[in-house]
Chain A
Amino acid sequence: GDSVTQMEGPVTLSEEAFLTINCTYTATGYPSLFWYVQYPGEGLQLLLKATKADDKGSNKGFEATYRKETTSFHLEKGSVQVSDSAVYFCALAGGTSYGKLTFGQGTILTVHP
C-alpha cells in the first residue's frame, strides 16, 4: 500500500537558519503530494501541494519539488522564523488511496531567536 516516510525529529534551529525536512513516499500510480502544518493547539492546515512530477509547491517562503525519480518531496525554507515552530506532515493522495490521505509521522520544528 501507500506509505510516507519523514525524517526523524525533533528539529531545532536558530532564527534565519536554512531548513530541510526530508520526505519520501511509496505509491502506485501518480499521487498528489502535500505538506501540512500544525501550529500548537490547532488542526492541520495545508502548507503547499504538488500534483505531478517536477511541480514545485510554494507558500510562505517554503518550497517542495515533486521528484518522481527519487520518490521524494523534501520541504525547504531559506530562512526560518520563530513563528515557523510547528509540526510538519508530509502526505500523499491518489495512487491506491481513493482520495484518502496517507500521512507521514510528522516532524516537530522548534526555532529559537
Chain B
Amino acid sequence: DADVTQTPRNRITKTGKRIMLECSQTKGHDRMYWYRQDPGLGLQLIYYSFDVKDINKGEISDGYSVSRQAQAKFSLSLESAIPNQTALYFCATVGLAGEAKNIQYFGAGTRLSVL
C-alpha cells in the first residue's frame, strides 16, 4: 500500500459545485501539504499543516479550504469550483528527523476538471 493515498484519482465536476479531495498517510508524519500543479508552473503550495491544530495558508489559498481531521488525514475542499481550478492536486507529508528530514513524500495526485 502507498504511504500517501489520495482519493479520488480523477474527478470531473461542474462550475459552482463543492468538492472534497482526501489525503491519508501512514508515515506517521505531523506535517502535511496540499499543492497544485499546472503545466509550466511547477507546484504551488495551497495549504499546509504542522499538526492537527496548526493550519496555514500557502501561496494560492483563495478559493480553497482544508480540514485536518487527524494526524493521518488532511482534506482539501473547493467550496464553489471554477474552471481555472482545473489542475493536478498533490498531497505530501514531510519527515522531520534523520535521513528523512525535509524529504517530502507525495501521493499519486488527483486530476480535477471543472467544466
- Of chain B, the residue at the smallest CB distance from A105 is B42
Query: Counting CB contacts under 8 A, is A69 at the interface?
Result: no
Contact indicator A43/B102 (Cβ below 8 Å): no
Write out the residue numbers on chain A whose beta carbons fall within 8 Å of the beta carbon of B4.
43
Chain B: number of interface residues, binned into ranges: 20 to 34
Write out the residue numbers on chain B whose beta carbons fall within 8 Å of the beta carbon of A32.
101-102
Contact indicator B41/A44 (Cβ below 8 Å): no
How far, in whole Å, are A32 and B94 apart by their CA atoms in the complex? Answer: 13
Partner of A103, one of B31, B43, B48, B96: B43
Query: Using an 8 Å CB-CB cutoff, how does the interface string of B40-57 with A read, 1 for contact, 0 for none?
Result: 111101001010000000
Query: Counting CB contacts under 8 A, is A100 at the interface?
Result: yes
Query: Counting CB contacts under 8 A, is B74 at the interface?
Result: no
Contact indicator B33/A100 (Cβ below 8 Å): yes
Write out the residue numbers on chain B whose beta carbons fall within 8 Å of the beta carbon of A89.
42-43
Contact indicator A93/B102 (Cβ below 8 Å): yes
Residues of B with Cβ closer than 8 Å to A? 4, 31, 33, 40-43, 45, 48, 50, 58, 90, 92, 94, 96, 101-104, 106-109
Residues of A with Cβ closer than 8 Å to B? 32, 34, 36, 41-46, 49, 51, 89, 93-94, 99-101, 103-106
Interface contacts beyond A32-B102, A89-B43: sample of 11 additional A-B pairs, CB < 8 Å, sorted by A: A34-B103, A42-B109, A44-B90, A45-B106, A99-B31, A99-B50, A101-B104, A103-B42, A103-B43, A105-B42, A106-B42
